[in-house]
Structure 1
Amino acid sequence: MTMKLRTALYAIATLPLALGLAACNKSETPATSGAPAANVAPPAGKQWAEVFAKTEDGAGLIVGNPNAPIKLVEYGSLSCPHCAKLAQDGMATLTGTYIASGKVSLEYRSFAIHPQDIPLTVLARCAGDDAYFGLVEQIYANFEAMNGQTQAQYDEAKKAMSLPAAQRYSALSDALGYTAFFSARGLPEAQQRQCLANLPAAEAVAKASETYSAKGIDSTPTMFVNGTKVEGNEWKNVEAALKAAGA
Structure 2
Amino acid sequence: MTASTPSPSRRRRTYTAVAVLLAAALTASLALTLDGSGDGNTTRRDAATAGTAPADPGPADESLLALARRDASDPLAVGRADAPVVMIEYSDFQCPFCGRFARETKPRLLRSYVEKGVLRIEWRNYPVFGEESDRAARAGWAAGRQKRFWEFHDVVYGTERERNSGAFAAEKLVAMAREAGVPDLDAFRADLESDEAGAAVERDAYEGYGLGVSSTPAFLVNGRPILGAQPTETFEAAVDAAARAAEAAGK
What TM-score does the superposition give when structure 2 sets the normalisation length? 0.64
Determine if the alignment matches structure 1 residue 138 to structure 2 residue 155. Answer: yes
Match 1:9 to one of 10, 16, 25: 16
Q: 1: CA distance between counterparts of 2:163 and 2:204?
A: 28
| Contact 2:70-2:82 at 8 Å conserved across structures | no
| Contact 1:30-1:237 at 8 Å conserved across structures | no
| Contact 1:32-1:244 at 8 Å conserved across structures | no
Change (3 A) 1:227 1:6: farther
Q: 1: CA distance between counterparts of 2:115 and 2:53?
A: 25
Change (3 A) 1:246 1:210: closer
Change (3 A) 1:173 1:136: same
Q: 1: CA distance between counterparts of 2:203 and 2:133?
A: 13
Q: Which amino acid aligns with 1:111?
A: Y
Moved segments of 4+, more than 6 Å: 5-8
Q: 1: CA distance between counterparts of 2:101 and 2:56?
A: 17
Q: Which amino acid aligns with 1:199?
A: D
DSSP-derived class of the 1:67 partner: coil
Counterpart of 2:238 in structure 1 is 241
Determine if the alignment matches structure 1 residue 117 to structure 2 residue 133. Answer: yes
Q: Deviations over 1:146-183 (max 9, x none)?
A: 43886xx48xx8xxxxxxxxxxxxxx313xx2222222
Q: Which runs of 5+ in 1 are unaligned?
A: 12-19, 35-52, 158-171
Determine if the alignment matches structure 1 residue 181 to structure 2 residue 197. Answer: no
Counterpart of 1:101 in structure 2 is 116
Q: 2: CA distance between counterparts of 1:205 and 1:31?
A: 33
| Contact 1:30-1:244 at 8 Å conserved across structures | no
Report how far residue 241 of structure 1 moved: 1.1
Match 2:51 to one of 10, 17, 26: 26
| Contact 2:84-2:119 at 8 Å conserved across structures | yes
DSSP-derived class of the 1:109 partner: strand
Counterpart of 1:71 in structure 2 is 86
Counterpart of 2:194 in structure 1 is 198
Report how far residue 137 of structure 1 moved: 2.5
| Contact 2:216-2:228 at 8 Å conserved across structures | no
Q: 1: CA distance between counterparts of 2:56 and 2:196?
A: 36
DSSP-derived class of the 2:147 partner: helix
Which shifted more, 230-239 or 74-83?
A: 230-239
Report how far residue 124 of structure 1 moved: 1.9
| Contact 2:51-2:228 at 8 Å conserved across structures | yes
DSSP-derived class of the 1:230 partner: strand
DSSP-derived class of the 1:116 partner: helix
Determine if the alignment matches structure 1 residue 215 to structure 2 residue 211. Answer: yes
Change (3 A) 1:203 1:68: closer
Counterpart of 2:248 in structure 1 is none
Q: Deviations over 1:118-157 (max 9, x none)?
A: 2222222223363212221221122x1x43886xx48xx8
Change (3 A) 1:211 1:68: closer
Change (3 A) 1:70 1:229: same
Q: 2: CA distance between counterparts of 1:186 and 1:60?
A: 15
| Contact 1:83-1:221 at 8 Å conserved across structures | yes
Counterpart of 2:95 in structure 1 is 80
Q: Which amino acid aligns with 2:196?
A: P
Number of equivalenced pairs: 195
Q: Which amino acid aligns with 2:16?
A: L
